Amino acid sequence: MTLRVQILKQTFSQSLGLPFKELLPESVIELALTELKIKYYQRLFDPIVTLWAFLSQVLDTDKSCHNAVSKVIAYLAGQGVEIPSTDTSAYCQARSRLPEKFLEKLFSQVGQSLEEKVGIEHLWCGRNVKVIDGSTVSMPDTVENQKAYPQPKTQKAGCGFPIAKIGVIFSLATGAAVALCIDILNTHDIKLARKLYQFLKPLDILLGDRAFCAYADLVTIKKLNCDVVFRKNQTRKTLMQKGKIVGDCDKLVTWYKPKSCPKGLSKDEFDVLPQTITVREIYYYIVIPGFRTQQVSLITTLLDKTTSSTLDIVRLYGKRWDVELDLRHL
C-alpha cells in the first residue's frame, strides 16, 4: 500500500499542466490535515491522492470517475505493484470524505501562494487589484439541494435544477479566485460582497460593476484601508456641473448619507455611517464598434490624480471584463 501511494504521489506531483509541485505540494496538504486535526486510514485513496486525482479529473476532458480511476491504474501499471480494482466506488467514497473545510483551507492557501509570487511589475500603480463579481451555479437535482438552493419559481417542479448564487473575488494579477461565498439564487450581489470584504488586505483596490456601488460599502472598504473603482449605480444622476473639477470629465464630489436605512443594513450599521464622503467621479464615452455601453461614469475613492490619473483609472475599469472570463474558467 505504501509503495503504491508513493508512486501515485510522485506521478501526480509531476503531472504536466497541473501546478501541484509548486502550489499544492504534499507538505502543504499534510499541514492542512494536521491543522484541521483530520485523521485518516492508510488507504490507496488517502486525502492527498484523492485530492490530486479529483483535480486531475476536473481538468480532464473526460470528467468521469471511471476515467480518473483508469489513470490511477495506468500510473501503477508496470511498477511491479498490485493493481487496484477498476470499480470506482472506493475513489468516489474517498472523494465524498474530503471535508469541506479542508478544501476551503487549501483554496485560500493556493490563492495566497500565487499572490506572493506577483512582482511589482504586475501591480497597478504599485497596488494589488481585486475584481469582484457574482454568478450562478447549478447542481444535481437532489431533495437536499432543492431544499437548500431551490430552483427558480418560474420553472415547474421537476423541470429544472437547484441553482445557487456565488460571489467571487479574483486577483487581477494572477487571475486566481481568492475568496468565494455562496447563497440562494435571489440573493443580491451586494449581500454576497459584504461577506467577502473580510478577505481584502490593506491597500488593495476593489474593482467592480455598479451593483456594488453603494454608500455604505464605500465607507466600509475605506475603513479597511482599501480603495474602490466601481461603475456608478444607475440610481444616481450624473451632474457634471457640481463638484470640484480636477481634470477633463474628472471631478471630486460629496456624497451624502442616505436619509433612510437601505435594505441589507441593520439600524446600528446605518447609524454609524458618516454624514458625507468625498469620491471621485470620472465620466467618459466608449466609441468602439460592437460595445453595447456607450457612456460610463466611474466612482472611485482614489482621490489623488498624481498617483492615479484619469486615463489610468479608465484603463483599469476596462480590465473589469477579465472577471467574466475568470468566472467562465472557474
Q: Give me the pLDDT at residue 238, please.
A: 59
Number of structural domains found in the chain:
2
Q: Give me the pLDDT at residue 78, please.
A: 76
Distance CA(104)–CA(147), nearest Å, equals 23
Q: Give me the pLDDT at residue 18, please.
A: 59
In this structure, are residues 20 and 10 in contact, taking their beta carbons and an 8 Å threshold?
Answer: no
Same domain (yes/no): 70, 156: no
Same domain (yes/no): 161, 38: no
Task: Work out the average pLDDT over 83-100.
Answer: 91
Same domain (yes/no): 159, 41: no
CATH of the domain at 283: 3.90.350.10
- Model confidence over 20-75: pLDDT tens digits? 667 788 888 999 999 999 988 888 898 988 998 898 888 888 889 999 999 888 88
Same domain (yes/no): 215, 169: yes
- β-partners of residue 206 are 130, 228
Same domain (yes/no): 292, 203: yes
Higher pLDDT, 148 or 6: 148
Confirm whether 267 is domain-assigned.
Answer: yes
Same domain (yes/no): 69, 126: no
Same domain (yes/no): 92, 130: no
Confirm whether 61 is domain-assigned.
Answer: yes
Same domain (yes/no): 133, 231: yes
Q: Which three three-digit cell numbers place residue 125?
A: 500603480
Instruction: Give 304's contacts (C-beta < 8 A, 6+ positions apart).
Output: none
- Model confidence over 269-287: pLDDT tens digits? 999 999 999 999 998 887 7
Confirm whether 94 is domain-assigned.
Answer: yes
- Model confidence over 233-255: pLDDT tens digits? 888 775 556 778 878 888 999 99
Confirm whether 316 is domain-assigned.
Answer: yes
Which of the listed residues 103, 132, 163 is the one where a domain comes to its end?
103
Residues of the chain above pLDDT 70, percent: 95
Same domain (yes/no): 299, 178: yes
Q: Give me the pLDDT at residue 39, please.
A: 87
Which of the listed residues 51, 76, 103 is the one where a domain comes to its end?
103
Query: Can you say whether residue 109 is alpha, beta or left, with left for phi > 0 and alpha for psi between -120 and 50 degrees?
Result: alpha
pLDDT higher than threshold 80 for residue 202: yes
Instruction: Give 2's contacts (C-beta < 8 A, 6+ positions apart).
Output: 42
Which of the listed residues 48, 71, 103 is the one where a domain comes to its end?
103
Q: Edge-to-edge, what's the strand order for the sheet holding 163-171?
A: 177-184, 163-171, 129-138, 205-208, 227-231, 295-300, 276-285, 250-256, 244-247
Q: Give me the pLDDT at residue 183, please.
A: 94
With vertex at residue 121, the alpha carbon angle to CA 302 and CA 16, rounded to the nearest 5 degrees, is 125
Task: Work out the average pLDDT over 299-322.
Answer: 92
Cα–Cα nearest to 48, from 84, 10, 104: 10
Confirm whether 217 is domain-assigned.
Answer: yes
Confirm whether 110 is domain-assigned.
Answer: no
Instruction: Give 330's contacts (C-beta < 8 A, 6+ positions apart).
Output: 168, 177
Confirm whether 235 is domain-assigned.
Answer: yes
Same domain (yes/no): 156, 241: yes
pLDDT higher than threshold 60 for residue 17: no
Band of pLDDT at residue 117, cut at 50, 70 and 90: confident
Burial of 50 (0-12, 13-18, 19+ CB in 10 A): buried
Confirm whether 108 is domain-assigned.
Answer: no
- Model confidence over 124-181: pLDDT tens digits? 999 999 999 999 999 889 999 999 999 888 888 778 899 999 999 999 999 889 999 9
Query: Can you say whether residue 264 is alpha, beta or left, with left for phi > 0 and alpha for psi between -120 and 50 degrees?
Result: left
Domain that holds residue 62: 2-103
Same domain (yes/no): 85, 173: no
Same domain (yes/no): 153, 95: no
